[in-house]
Amino acid sequence: MSEVPIERHALDNGLRIILSRDPRSPAVAVNLWYDVGSKHEKSGKTGFAHLFEHMMFQGSANVEKGQHFGLVQAAGGTLNATTWLDRTTYFETLPSHELELALWLESDRMASLLPAMTQEKLDNQRDVVKNERRYSVDNQPYGDWDERMQALVYPETHPYHHPTIGSMEDLSAASLDDVREFFSTYYAPNNAVLTIAGDFEADAALTMIQRHFGPIPANPSLPAPPEVAIPARIGEAVRVTVPDQVPLPRIYLAHRAPPFGTDGFDALDVAADILGSGRASRLYAVLVRERRLAQDISAFLFPIVGGASLFAMWVTARPGIELPTLEAALLAELDRLAADGATDADLERVRNLQASRTAASLERIAERADRLGQYACLFDEPERINSEVGRYAAVDAGRVAQAMRASITDDNRVTLTYVPAEAAS
């Protein structure tokens, strides 16, 4: 596959810059990874990093409320932002000739968000975020599985113990003072990576970046990263049953896993695809197609770096299937992969799937910019975008078996089972 070109620069204030040219379409993607996520939140302030992300669209010194979206869209661009455990990401894709608009908007809110903040805006976005939580978690069947998992896999003192969306009580408690403190602490050029991908001229882009971001002062006292060290295994088997408004029972498994970016993570990533990716995957083949115990299956890792990642799976029971039968069949497949390792056919299949998926993702300049920002922010190594396929392909049968045996054990497993509420009562 063709290499993604990478140019690295930095401003005196510490802003890291990644440039990646691709002239195929007259568009540019601008992406900012801030090294702050929900893992940085204090106790009693869960959900704040994400609520803060919403406030970043409420205007800044030179931009009215609504105009961040308005200006980018009127320029023919798309935009959004996401917050997760490790980070907060802001991004725009625009026609090439509007590159400077995106840089100006991003720099204006990095430099001068606070003058635009009001209690009314905070109250409005707090209501929006509470509705986001209702929409994605509280009003959905199985909707709280990931927050329950995180709470069981990570101890109460660990920064991944609580979910990024936060609790209703903590969202209610968020104040304008919190906005000021969070902004002053984390929103600084030396805590961010700015990536541009697409059709642009590097010299002109660097001049614009210097013009808009150059005057923003660094934060000389960025706080030390949160303490994330954690034993590699949970240390016991944890089982929880949740009665819910669900028609079909579903079993979720979660295991602590090596952090994203390590060889161990890569090996489990391959294992997850062997188990759960595609119609030839082992869980689909055995549980869905052959034995017809499951309606659907899934297996994947959280790409997170704080001490331990999380390897999650779920299987939804078909009507009439006894849960112990389904669970035993699932565990038997995990044991088989741990004991016998991957076959050549498994490895050929998942390597080729991963290569074509990666190529399809990287067709989009926004995705390319996001991955460059991710690797630069998390590992200071944007070049990893070009070794993704190679790292994955380097995983052999022995590494898969070894990684499975290390992480997929009874004493490192949370088993969370949703059952129909009426059946449980």
Subset of residues 330 to 359 that bind other proteins, contact rule: CB under 8 A: 345, 348-349, 352-357, 359
259 binds other proteins (CB under 8 A): no
Extract the tokens encoding 330: 């699932």
Subset of residues 230 to 249 that bind other proteins, contact rule: CB under 8 A: 245-248
Tell which residue, 84, 92, 77, 30, has the closest CA to residue 53.
84
Extract the tokens encoding 409: 């054990």
Extract the tokens encoding 377: 């922010």
425 binds other proteins (CB under 8 A): no
76 binds other proteins (CB under 8 A): yes
Subset of residues 169 to 188 that bind other proteins, contact rule: CB under 8 A: none
Q: Which of 12, 118, 135, 387 binds other proteins (CB under 8 A)?
A: 135
Question: Shortest gap between Cβ of 418 and other proteins (angstroms)?
Answer: 11
Q: Which amino acid is at 169?
A: E
Q: Which stretch binds other proteins (CB under 8 A): 136-144, 158-166, 184-192, 227-235?
A: 136-144
Q: Which of 9, 13, 75, 214 binds other proteins (CB under 8 A)?
A: 75
Distance CA 65, CA 57 (A): 7
List CB contacts of 263: < 8 A, sequence separation 6 or more: 399
Subset of residues 273 to 292 that bind other proteins, contact rule: CB under 8 A: 278-280, 285, 288-289, 292
Subset of residues 104 to 123 that bind other proteins, contact rule: CB under 8 A: 104-105, 108, 123
Question: Shortest gap between Cβ of 298 and other proteins (angstroms)?
Answer: 14
Question: Shortest gap between Cβ of 135 and other proteins (angstroms)?
Answer: 5
Per the CB < 8 A criterion, the answer to whether 194 and 20 are in contact is no
Length of the chain: 425
Q: How many residues bind other proteins (CB under 8 A)?
A: 79
Burial class (CB in 10 A: 0-12, 13-18, 19+), 423: exposed
H or E stretch covering 299: strand 294-301
Question: Shortest gap between Cβ of 61 and other proteins (angstroms)?
Answer: 7
Closer CB to other proteins, 66 or 231, in the complex: 66
List CB contacts of 244: < 8 A, sequence separation 6 or more: 141, 142, 418, 419, 420, 421
